[in-house]
Structure formats: structure tokens, C-alpha cells
């Protein structure tokens, strides 16, 4: 045996342990990812302590990743061995967004459980699921009135209320209450409350009517705007998560399996079935499909599990899939040649034909459940954050 080997063995037998080495940090110093990955290594290390933008370090695995906001950050890392710790290594990290920045106004607090908003002229109406109220946000960006329209739903119960504007009225669906309420916008007074089956979901307007789907069911409620009369259609095979109207057809987004159904609005008969098969590996297990919107001869569907949207060209039946660059997509609206997508990171604007990103507004959405919604009108998108209880105007 060599003398070196014998010396090392002897030191080991005597309980002498080598000092921990200075850590090396592998990972990007400049990145467009909001959650870059870093790997730590140090001789004789048994664990690591690290933190972004803080001198107070916490335990970190050797493969470390955390969500970062765009801007400049400092990652600090220390290796811990059986005999003490190393010095702290500091690494500068720059996070950039490679798309035009959309303009986001200051968020307006409307109440926990902010649902799908409706734009009516200079006012935006936001259902507040947690209280069953409908909040009216005026042109000044402040809540100027509320109307009790539904059933209060405790946070975490999974209900999401929605609204739309049609026929000189604002309409609000109560997910937990199974009703759709019609409101006179000038005064906020209730005109009518209409039974709408089990869990009426997102509202759309078309063919002189307001339509609502029953969440995860086959029922669709049609309310005539002129008479206020309601009737129910049953769509064979539907397990609905979204609804849209356009091109003389009603469109339903369904799940298990993921499909878009083109529906005859008079009879509820399915005219066409378009399967959705995103060519991406799922990144989460939430729900296969979530929301639907129609605009410029296309139907847009959000696919949260895949971090993607699907664009259906209604004339040809062709489907294009596009990844949302930041966050999982939930709400979607169409307007001004674009699709406006609400993700759990903010708002992505996508080209109305190709689906490629043309603008991004990253918004405070930490700890969001994914119940984020969006409406578009008058040159602006309105982003509602369920958990934060906020409404944000986004333009660009």
C-alpha cells in the first residue's frame, strides 16, 4: 500500500474528517425561464443551504429551482459537511422576458373569489364567488357598487361565478346557487333570477340569448334576452368545462376525453366533434380542459395540464396547439386579432392566427389556485384573480 493511502486510512480511523469544499453552482446566469434550475456540488458536502435575494439561508437540495420574477437576483449557496460549513458563494442571475411587455394598471380589490368579469361600457362587473355579490368597477378604477346575486361559497369549495353583458343588462351566474341573475346596470337592481340547473358555468351571448353550460355535465341553459324565458338543451356526450358562440353554432369544450363539440343551438344536436390531442408532455394534473372563446372564425381552448392552448379553425376543423410561455392557462378571451390568455402567472397575448406570443404581462399571482379569468372589450383585457380578489386592466 502507498504511504498516502495509509495516511488517509489512518486519519479516517482516528475520526479525522476532511473539510467541506467551496460549492460550485451550475445553472443559467441569464435566462428567460421564470423557474430556472440550479445544481450544487462541493467536496465532502452532506447538504446545502441557499436563498435567492436574502442572506438568511435555508436548506436546499442539490438540485434547486424556485419561481423568480423578471429582473436581477442573487443566489447565495453554502455547503455543509460533517465538519463545519463552507464560505458562501454568490451568483448573479438575470431573468428577462423575450416578448413585448403589456401594460398592467394597478389591481382593484373586489373581494375574495373574483370570478369571470363582464365589460359593459366603461364599467366592469365582477362576480365575487365567496359572497355571492356582483361588484361594479367604474371608470375611475374603484368599486362603485355591489348587488347580492348568488349564494356565498366558502374559499376552497371549488365554485366559480361568472358574468356577461347582453341586451342592455348584466347577467351573473351563481355556480353554487344554480341561478342566473339579470341586473339593470344603471342602478344595479335585480330584474330577474332564473333557475339554471346544476352549476351554471361561463356565460356567452349569441342568437339573441345568453347561454350557460352545466359544469362537468351535458346540460346547456338558453335564456332569451327579449322574453327572459329559459330552456334546457342536453348535448350528448358532453362533460362540459367551457362554452362559446360564433359562426351560427354553439361550441362546448369537454373533458375526459378532451374535445370541442360544435352544437346546433336550436336542438342541442352535435354537428361535429373535434378531438384535442396536445403534442406536449403534461406538466401537472389539474383538469384537461378549462375555458373556451370564439373570435375571428376560430375557437380557443385552454389546456392547463399541458401549459398550452388549442386554436380550432372552424371552417376547416384544423387545430393548432401553442404553448403559453409563462404559467398554466385557464381563462381565454378573443379580441382585436389576438387571444388573451389568463395564466397563473398573468396575461399572455397570442397572435390570432399562429398562436405565437406577442405580449406578456406578469402579474402577482403567488399562491393562486388557478382560478384566474379574463374578458376583453374596448381595447383592454380584464384579468380577475380568484385568490387575491383582484381585477387588473391589461393593454398593449
- Mean pLDDT across the stretch 219-234? 97
Same domain, 146 and 228: yes
**Does 334 score more than 60 pLDDT?**
yes
* Parent domain of 185: 103-395
> Which of 95, 121, 149 delimits the end of a domain?
95
- Mean pLDDT across the stretch 181-209? 96
- What pLDDT does residue 368 have? 52
Identify the CATH number of the domain in which residue 54 sits.
2.60.40.10
Which cell numbers in the block locate residue 200? 351554471
Same domain, 48 and 179: no
Same domain, 87 and 121: no
- What pLDDT does residue 327 have? 86
> Which of 34, 62, 95 delimits the end of a domain?
95
Confidence of residue 286 (pLDDT cuts 50, 70, 90): confident
Interatomic CA distance for residues 104 and 122, integer angstroms = 17
Q: Of 14-18, 256-260, 303-307, which gets the smallest average pLDDT?
A: 14-18
Confidence of residue 4 (pLDDT cuts 50, 70, 90): very low
Compare 68 and 119 and report the one with higher pLDDT.
119
Same domain, 165 and 309: yes
Instruction: Please tell me the total count of domains within the chain.
Output: 2
Same domain, 150 and 81: no
Same domain, 221 and 167: yes
- What pLDDT does residue 2 have? 56
- Mean pLDDT across the stretch 142-161? 90
Instruction: Determine what percent of the chain is predicted with pLDDT higher than 90.
Output: 85
Q: Of 108-117, 306-315, 362-371, 380-389, which gets the smallest average pLDDT?
A: 362-371
Same domain, 164 and 46: no
- What pLDDT does residue 285 have? 81
Same domain, 382 and 317: yes
Interatomic CA distance for residues 130 and 146, integer angstroms = 13
- What pLDDT does residue 12 have? 46
Same domain, 381 and 236: yes
Confidence of residue 283 (pLDDT cuts 50, 70, 90): confident
Same domain, 254 and 281: yes
**Does 13 score more than 90 pLDDT?**
no
Long-range contacts (CB closer than 8 Å, 24 or more residues apart) made by 276-283: 276/301, 276/303, 276/310, 276/319, 278/303, 278/306, 278/308, 278/310, 278/321, 279/321, 280/306, 280/307, 280/308, 280/321, 280/323, 281/306, 282/306, 283/307, 283/328
Same domain, 224 and 253: yes
> Which of 67, 95, 123 delimits the end of a domain?
95
pLDDT digits (tens, 9 = 90+) for 97-111: 899 999 999 999 999
- Mean pLDDT across the stretch 348-374? 86
Identify the CATH number of the domain in which residue 260 sits.
2.130.10.10
- Mean pLDDT across the stretch 352-359? 95
Mean pLDDT of the chain: 93
Same domain, 375 and 314: yes
Amino acid at each position: 500500500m502507498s504511504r498516502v493511502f495509509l495516511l488517509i486510512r489512518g486519519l479516517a480511523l482516528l475520526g479525522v474528517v476532511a473539510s467541506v469544499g467551496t460549492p460550485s453552482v451550475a445553472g443559467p446566469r441569464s435566462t428567460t425561464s421564470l423557474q430556472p434550475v440550479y445544481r450544487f456540488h462541493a467536496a465532502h458536502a452532506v447538504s446545502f443551504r441557499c436563498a435567492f435575494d436574502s442572506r438568511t439561508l435555508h436548506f436546499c437540495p442539490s438540485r434547486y429551482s424556485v419561481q423568480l420574477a423578471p429582473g436581477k437576483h442573487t443566489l447565495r449557496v453554502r455547503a455543509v459537511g460533517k465538519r463545519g460549513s463552507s464560505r458562501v458563494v454568490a451568483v448573479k442571475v438575470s431573468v428577462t422576458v423575450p416578448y413585448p411587455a403589456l401594460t398592467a394598471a394597478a389591481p382593484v380589490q373586489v373581494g375574495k373569489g373574483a370570478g369571470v368579469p363582464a365589460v359593459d361600457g366603461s364599467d366592469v362587473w365582477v362576480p365575487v364567488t365567496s359572497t355571492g355579490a356582483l361588484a361594479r368597477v367604474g371608470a375611475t378604477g374603484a368599486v362603485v357598487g355591489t348587488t347580492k346575486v348568488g349564494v356565498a361559497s366558502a374559499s376552497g369549495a371549488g365554485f366559480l361565478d361568472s358574468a356577461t353583458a347582453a341586451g342592455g343588462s348584466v347577467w351573473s351566474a351563481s355556480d353554487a346557487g344554480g341561478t342566473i341573475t339579470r341586473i339593470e346596470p344603471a342602478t344595479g337592481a335585480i330584474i330577474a333570477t332564473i333557475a339554471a340547473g346544476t352549476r351554471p358555468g361561463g356565460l356567452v351571448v349569441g342568437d339573441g340569448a345568453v347561454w350557460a353550460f352545466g359544469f362537468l355535465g351535458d346540460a346547456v341553459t338558453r335564456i332569451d334576452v327579449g322574453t327572459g324565458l329559459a330552456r334546457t338543451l342536453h348535448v350528448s356526450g358532453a362533460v362540459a368545462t367551457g362554452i362559446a358562440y360564433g359562426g351560427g353554432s354553439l361550441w362546448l369544450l369537454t373533458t375526459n376525453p378532451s374535445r370541442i363539440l360544435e352544437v346546433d343551438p336550436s336542438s342541442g344536436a352535435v354537428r361535429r366533434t373535434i378531438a384535442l390531442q396536445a403534442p406536449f408532455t403534461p406538466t401537472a394534473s389539474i383538469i384537461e380542459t378549462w375555458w373556451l372563446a370564439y373570435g375571428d372564425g376560430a375557437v380557443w381552448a385552454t389546456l392547463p395540464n399541458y401549459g398550452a392552448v388549442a386554436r380550432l379553425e372552424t371552417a376547416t376543423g384544423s387545430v393548432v396547439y401553442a404553448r403559453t410561455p409563462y404559467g398554466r392557462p385557464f381563462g381565454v378571451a378573443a379580441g382585436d386579432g389576438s387571444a388573451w390568455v389568463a395564466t397563473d402567472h398573468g396575461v399572455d397575448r397570442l397572435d390570432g392566427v399562429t398562436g405565437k406570443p406577442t405580449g406578456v404581462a406578469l402579474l402577482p399571482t403567488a399562491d393562486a389556485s388557478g382560478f384566474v379569468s379574463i374578458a376583453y372589450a374596448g381595447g383592454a383585457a380584464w384579468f380577475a384573480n380568484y385568490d387575491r380578489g383582484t381585477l387588473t386592466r391589461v393593454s398593449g
